[in-house]
Amino acid sequence: MLRRPRRNRKSPVIRAMVEETTLSVKDLIFPVFVIGGEHKKIEVKSMPGIYRYSPDLLLEEIASCVELGISTFAPFPAIDEARKDPLAKESYNPEGLYPSIIRKIKANFPEVCLMTDVAMDPYSSDGHDGIVKEGKILNDETLEVLGKMALVQAQAGSDILGPSDMMDGRVGHIRQVLDEAGYTEVSIMSYTAKYASGFYGPFRDALDSAPKAGDKKTYQMNPANRLEALIEADLDVEEGADILMVKPAIPYLDVIRLLKDHYPLPIAAYHVSGEYAMIKAAAQQGWLNGTQCMVESLLSIKRAGASTILTYFAKEYAALRL
Ligand code: PBG
């Protein structure tokens, strides 16, 4: 035999030498959950190892992650039910939990990069990403709210805004609001192809943000569709997005590759809460090796074409110090 592919696998050194894809802590963004109060650290039931932290403890958690080499965080706020309303007004309160934790993180860790979430659902009494009227999600009216919260987050010091709502035209609207206010340097990582997925369940537990009625299928994408991701990506590019994201990750590796092959912009992927929960649950049962499956999952997302991965495994991966 002239060709023996096993020669390139014969030792750890050679395997490393011919490795096509590498994964680094620098590729990872760590989503973290913040709640009001003090000295609170509450585990998310469906996400073993992931907690909702009050601001004081979140700062400690970030310090320990920075120590491990993590440089970018994506905080999400769990808002008191009493502060939620149909118009999500708390989302643009400059003294609210979210802008204040953004300011605190930037003050304590100026070198840390913050990607913040632009969407109504954590603040909406309806649990939707848009204003609900007679069971319908209003698009253009929602853009106004998104623009206001985007501005508040930029003023608080956010580096990257992540619109996760899937309203039409939101990237362009947010870009315009930011530019008019002089925030031309704030980036937008668009949730370009965000699918209506069952894998968001544990995240909605973490934020108590599940829709009170209906589902998100009139704004999030149909899992059956691939080409539609190109339409979303075209729009996001035209509207000024800096980075395109696909979400969830593993069930949509083909979509990650599709966007990678069609667009020169960096591609990110969100390895979501349910993808984390599946591996954790099976590992707890002793049904699979959690660490090996974590690394393999993250590597496969990178191999599919994502240069950046949002993952709840960020700290656990960093702790391996590979
Ligand atoms: C909503 C939002 C969701 C996630 C991030 N932002 C859930 C949803 O659309 O209902 C999910 C993230 C995850 O599951 O890890 N704006």
Count the neighbouring beta carbons within 10 Å of the beta carbon of residue 81.
7
Q: What is the pLDDT of residue 273?
A: 98
Q: For residue 269, what are the β-bridge partners?
A: 246, 309
Residue 242 lies in a domain: yes
Whether 40 is catalytic is: no
Between CA 242 and CA 32 the distance in angstroms is 22
- 310: CA distance to ligand 1 center in Å? 12
DSSP 48: T
In the chain, how many domains are there?
1
Q: Give domain status of residue 129, yes or no.
A: yes
Give pLDDT, residue 26.
97
Average pLDDT value for the chain: 98
Tokens of 262: 């069609």
Q: Whose CA is nearest to atom 2 of ligand 1?
A: 164
Q: Which residues contact 24 (CB under 8 A, 6 or more apart)?
A: none
CATH number at residue 50: 3.20.20.70
Q: Is residue 16 part of a domain?
A: no
Residues 6+ apart with CB under 8 A from 291: 316, 320
- Catalytic, 148? Answer no
φ/ψ (deg, to 5) at 318: -60, -35
- Asked whether residue 306 is domain-assigned, the answer is yes
Q: Which domain holds residue 238?
A: 22-321
Which pair of structure tokens corresponds to residue 187? 């980036």
316 in any annotated domain: yes
What pTM does this model have? 0.98
pLDDT score recorded for residue 230: 98
- Which residues surround ligand 1 with Cβ inside 6 Å? 119, 121, 129, 164-165, 200, 203-204, 216, 272-273
Instruction: Supply the DSSP string of 258-286, one letter for each residue.
Output: HHHHH-SS-EEEEE-HHHHHHHHHHHHTT
Query: In the numeric block, which tokens belong to residue 320?
Result: 């391996």
With a cut of 70, list the residues of the chain below it in pLDDT. Answer: none
Q: Is the peptide bond before 248 cis (omega within 30 degrees of 0)?
A: yes
Q: Would residue 8 count as lying in a domain?
A: no
Structural domain contains residue 5: no
69 Cα: distance to centroid of ligand 1 (angstroms)? 25
User: Could you tell me the distance, in angstroms and rounded to a whole number, from the CA of residue 155 to the centre of ligand 1?
Assistant: 24
Provide the 10 A C-beta neighbour count for residue 219: 18
pLDDT of residue 322: 87
Q: Is residue 296 part of a domain?
A: yes
Kindly give the distance from the C-alpha atom of residue 200 to the centroid of ligand 1, in angstroms, as a whole number: 6
Contact 238, 249 (CB under 8 A): no
- Under a CB-based contact definition with an 8 Å cutoff, are residues 158 and 116 in contact? yes
Nearest CA to ligand 1 atom 10: 200
Contacts of 16 (CB under 8 A, 6+ apart): none
Rounded to whole angstroms, the Cα distance separating 263 from 256 reads 11
Length of the chain: 322
